[in-house]
């Protein structure tokens, strides 16, 4: 699950000068707003500054570590899109192939027709498919977190989405964010290669880029090594639940991955500068569709293009899963980067913490 990167809310502090100071103040404000901990990094070329506030483990009061692993949620989508773009570059598929070519019958219910939806429309969220993740059938067990090992077959998630409503727009007509698109994208990867999206992402991206702290769990709901504990605050300040161990099958190719600030920055720089993609596929990655009427937010293939309040443009995305919220911003040439994460998410968007920390990330990026 994810919402758009939010920027431009809240007052500015005229006394803050450096990008690192700006992001540090945002991390502190996030903790004031109720996050157990917040971490971040600003990087210009190869010079980085790390920031932190609060704790990464409430039971031990261990300070939040900017090097710690966390669940990246919908930031997974850029990895999934990159694999499909690579497969196109290898002429094993075309993004203009219809879904039914690779997944016969997978999108064939309630008025939906996989023969009318392309892989490209999955990746830029113009397929017109409904969301499955906010249904009571899925969100109830996931948020309550009583069975982190509950099995969710990808086709089951797609079927839940299709059952919600008949189509309300034609494929390609408009942007409508839905995790269903990327569950199907992961299914296409398996149909083309014979192995799942997790395997392809490890072989094609994680290993070549030496992303030692990045993984794509497919069954094990636990986190290992140095990691932030994730928390759920249904009522901030009153109830707290440790949800570090949570279901990874609910989001699959749409949001199951684990990473760090450093690895996420390394990946997004490599993605945007052509290290992972041939020129034709890099151009496709960055071909966007409008998200809002003002034109300040557009969506490419697994990534957003954002005009920040200072007027600069950045590529970015965010990820929101149980217990964790993260986002990143990277310039087109990869030289300027901001990544940040916190360890509380109760599956609600536009919270005060999200607004304040997103503004800090935007301001820090503009100051680089």
359 Cβ contact list (under 8 Å, min separation 6): 6, 7, 8, 9, 10, 26
pLDDT in tens, 100-138: 999 999 999 999 999 999 999 999 999 999 999 999 999
pLDDT in tens, 269-280: 999 999 999 999
Cα 361 vs. chain centroid, distance in angstroms? 16
Are 270 and 78 in contact by the 8 Å Cβ rule? The answer is: no
CATH homologous superfamily, domain 19-367: DD-peptidase/beta-lactamase superfamily (3.40.710.10)
Mean pLDDT computed over 172-194: 98
Average pLDDT of every residue of the chain: 95
Q: Write down the domain spans for the chain.
A: 19-367
Between CA 191 and CA 100 the distance in angstroms is 11
- pLDDT the model gives residue 8: 37
First to last CA, the chain: 29
Q: Which residues are catalytic?
A: 74
pLDDT in tens, 214-241: 999 999 999 999 999 999 987 655 678 9
pLDDT in tens, 10-69: 444 456 589 999 999 999 999 999 999 999 999 999 999 999 999 999 999 999 999 999
Are 49 and 20 in contact by the 8 Å Cβ rule? The answer is: yes
Whether 362 shows a pLDDT value over 70: the answer reads: yes
């Amino acid at each position: 699950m994810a919402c758009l990167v939010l920027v431009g809310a809240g007052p500015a502090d005229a006394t803050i000068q450096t990008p690192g100071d700006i992001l540090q103040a945002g991390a502190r404000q996030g903790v004031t707003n109720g996050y157990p901990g917040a971490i971040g990094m600003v990087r210009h070329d190869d010079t980085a500054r790390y920031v932190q506030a609060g704790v990464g483990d409430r039971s031990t009061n261990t300070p939040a570590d900017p090097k710690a692993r966390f669940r990246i949620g919908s930031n997974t989508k850029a990895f999934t899109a990159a694999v499909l773009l690579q497969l196109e570059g290898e002429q094993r598929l075309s993004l203009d192939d219809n879904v039914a070519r690779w997944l016969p019958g997978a999108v064939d219910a309630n008025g939906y027709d996989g023969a009318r939806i392309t892989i490209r429309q999955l990746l830029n969220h113009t397929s017109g498919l409904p969301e499955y993740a906010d249904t009571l059938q899925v969100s109830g067990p996931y948020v309550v977190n009583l069975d982190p090992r509950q099995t969710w077959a990808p086709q089951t998630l797609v079927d839940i989405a299709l059952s919600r409503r008949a189509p309300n727009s034609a494929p390609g007509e408009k942007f409508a964010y839905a995790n269903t698109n990327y569950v199907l994208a992961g299914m296409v990867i398996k149909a083309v290669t014979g192995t799942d999206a997790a395997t392809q992402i490890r072989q094609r991206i994680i290993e070549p880029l030496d992303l030692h702290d990045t993984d794509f769990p497919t069954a094990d709901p636990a986190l290992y090594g140095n990691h932030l504990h994730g928390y759920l605050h249904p009522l901030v300040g009153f109830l707290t639940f440790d949800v570090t161990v949570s279901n990874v099958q609910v989001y699959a190719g749409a949001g199951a991955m684990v990473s760090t600030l450093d690895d996420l920055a390394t990946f997004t720089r490599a993605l945007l500068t052509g290290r992972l993609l041939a020129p034709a596929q890099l151009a496709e990655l960055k071909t966007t569709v409008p998200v809002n009427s003002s034109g300040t937010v557009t969506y490419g293939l697994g990534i957003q293009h954002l005009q920040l309040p200072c007027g600069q443009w950045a590529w970015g995305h965010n990820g929101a899963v149980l217990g964790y919220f993260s986002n990143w911003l990277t310039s087109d040439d990869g030289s300027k980067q901001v990544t940040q994460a916190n360890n509380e998410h109760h599956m609600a968007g536009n919270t005060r913490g999200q607004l304040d920390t997103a503004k800090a990330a935007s301001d820090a990026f503009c100051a680089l």
